[in-house]
Amino acid sequence: MPSFPDLLPARPTSGRAGRRPAPASRAGRLAGAPSPLAGTVSLLAGTPSLLARTPSLLAGTLSLLVVLAALAGCSPKRTDTKPDDGTPASGQAGPDVAVGTSEHTMTVDGRDRTYRLYRPASADLSGPVPLVIMLHGAAGTGSQAEEAYGWTGQADRDGFVVAFPDGLNRAWAVGPECCGAPAREGVDDVGFITDLVAEIGRALPVDPARTYVTGISNGGLLAYRLACDTRIFAAVGAVATTLTGQCPDPAPVSVLHIHGQQDKTMPYGGGPGRRDNDGTGRNPVHIDGPPIPELAARWRAVDDCDAPTVSTDGPVTRSTATCSQGRAVELITIAGAGHQWPGGEPNPPLAEKLLHLDPPATALNATDTIWRFFSAHPKPPGG
């Protein structure tokens, strides 16, 4: 099986079910005192709608804060509904999993971890249902991701369940140098997501062959980390992100990667981005990934793919490869686009200007595109 190069020191694994054994050379868990995430704007700009709602982070005049506060009104929260009367024939759905969005807390490694779970009325729980894990970017939350990227509407249309977990201090740890307080404290986010999938599977009849993960920016880094360290997911949808850390023997998995060519936070050509601080300080951020076309080529090698076919439609270029056992690797490049979720909610104009946020591309709806890719690529039998 082809190996990915060591881009950062590897993160530890904990031996949870569904996780792959770590190489013996991997370092142990980092230790550190808990600390709130400071300097949010200095982290990755993977969550523009949330950053726009936090004007207190901007140092400036009172009048500027007032203007930003006026611009950054929060969207109405989705309210939970009562569970429907029909318990699925399998009897697996617990009474706390309502139709709509429900909020949950679980304990992982002595820490309270939270997530939102959306169960659409269209999901047929009389049999196995697909599950999507949506990982927010740095400075984001599960609630922000639910509001900004359109996954609940997609779930309504297509009848799958989607979870929106929260990173501690609004970030995810993918190694000792990224990202933020979770990286400094050695938080086991791969373990959290592994346990999260298991917990949801105890409450709902989740189909293991149709369990998927997607993420933007720091969340996309974790999605790739999960592809390297576990065998849980049938496919990965990565947006405005890259791969860091060791990935010496990944299991085959279908991969869709969406990236703007003008992304300065996770550069399309690889290397550190504009938020990089060399992995130092209270909020370490060091991301030195390969060029994105090279990353796609590595996954094609892992998945035993044919040579890709390339097509261009306006600013959107697709490089698509069919692979062994029905898997696929696809790279979608958007000319002129930056660090953003294509088709996501737009940023307030003044906040976009002051915080140097990239506007969402309109040439592609990333959520619909990712779901179509997911639904076409379940795990093969025995895979």
Provide the residue-wise pLDDT of the chain in tens; the chain has 383 residues.
444 433 333 333 444 555 554 433 333 332 233 333 333 434 444 444 433 343 333 333 333 333 333 333 333 333 333 333 333 333 344 337 889 999 999 999 999 999 999 999 999 999 999 999 999 999 899 999 999 999 999 999 999 999 999 999 999 999 888 888 899 999 999 999 999 999 999 999 999 999 999 999 999 999 999 999 999 999 999 999 999 988 989 999 999 999 999 999 999 999 888 777 777 777 778 888 999 999 999 999 999 999 999 999 999 999 999 999 999 999 999 999 999 999 999 877 887 788 788 999 999 999 999 999 999 999 999 87
pLDDT for position 17: 52
- Number of H helices and E strands in the chain, helices first, is 10, 10
CB 45 within 8 A of CB 265: yes
Domain ranges of the chain: 40-74+96-376
Architecture, CATH, for domain 40-74+96-376: 3-Layer(aba) Sandwich (3.40)
Q: State how far the Cα of 329 lies from the Cα of 254, in Å rounded to an integer.
A: 6
CB 193 within 8 A of CB 173: no
Q: State how far the Cα of 333 lies from the Cα of 300, in Å rounded to an integer.
A: 17
Sign for the CA dihedral angle at 275, 277, 283, 289 comes to: positive
CB 226 within 8 A of CB 245: no
- Alpha carbon dihedral 292, 297, 298, 304, in 10-degree steps, equals 150
Please give the backbone phi and psi of residue 117, each rounded to the nearest 5 degrees, phi first: -125, 125
Q: Which residues of 183-198 are buried (b: 16+ CB within 10 A; e: fewer)?
A: bbbbbbbbbbbbbbbe
Q: Which residues pair with 206 in a beta bridge?
A: 129
**Would you state the structure tokens that stand for residue 106, as one six-digit string?**
């679980």
Any idea what DSSP says for residue 40?
A: G
Q: Smallest Cα–Cα separation from 106: which of 201, 21, 220? A: 201
* Close Cβ partners of 62 (under 8 Å, ≥ 6 residues apart): none
CB 221 within 8 A of CB 177: no
pLDDT for position 22: 42
Where are the strands (E) in 139-252, listed by range? 161-165, 206-216, 235-239
Q: Which residue has the tokens 């029909």?
A: 86
Q: Smallest Cα–Cα separation from 4: which of 229, 161, 154? A: 229
pLDDT for position 19: 57
CB 18 within 8 A of CB 314: no
Q: pTM of the prediction? A: 0.79
